[in-house]
Homo-oligomer: A and B are copies of this chain.
Amino acid sequence: MYSAAQLSLYPMTDGFVGVILDAIGVLERYRPHLRTETDDLSTLIVAPPETLYPAMRDLFVAAAASGRHVTLSATVSRGCPGATDDPICGSDIATGPLPPLAGRITEAIAETRAAPITGIEIAAQFALYVPGSDSHSAEIAGCIEFLQGSGLRTTPKSLVTRIDGDAGPVFSTLGSAFWRFGHGSAHVVMDLTVSANSPSRR
């Protein structure tokens, strides 16, 4: 199952190039479990879902540690019908028949609560889409039940859901929302914005 993120890191500082280059170095610790392609608009990370979210977390935490206002914007996709599969995306956990929904909700909550604390407070907002399918209402409802039980502060907004908290549990929650719900071969897309060190009041 092809699984990838097209992401961009935006440091709001004259020294943005340095912040980006320093942060992107942390992806090396995830090789050979991911591959990347970069142009002037974004970096593509191709990896299984359980690698994508920790890699994005570490990338963002490294950039936010600069103290500058930084944001990350990403389109994350799995199971896109037009995409050729990539051997690097081989995943033990995100394919095959799904275990019962209630168990997945419990697992997702436990993983969020056990997530490492990074010391970086972030605000995230995301939308989750299941293109080309009418039969995912139980899975979406399960995902919402998980979010409500995650212990994080979630806020509905128009078009998106907002989550505030430490980068560790927030990225764990985002990852679970992306890959634990919707059957293994479904095309699932997450549109994601993450922000740290904003000078604006919430």
Contacts and interface: CB of A to CB of B under 8 A. Distances in A.
Interface residues of A, number: 47
A172 interface: no
Contacts of A11: 12
Nearest to A190: B191
Interface stretch (A55-63, A70-78, A99-107): A70-78
A185 interface: no
Given A11-B12, A75-B160, A193-B8, A199 B17 contact: yes
A127 interface: yes
A202 B40 contact: yes
Nearest to A131: B129
Interface string A170-202: 000000000000000000010101010011111
B8 A42 contact: no
A178 to B, nearest CB: 14
Given A4-B158, A129-B131, A131-B129, A42 B189 contact: no
> What 7 pairs between A and B have smallest CB-CB spacing?
A40-B200, A10-B10, A12-B16, A73-B73, A129-B131, A40-B198, A191-B191
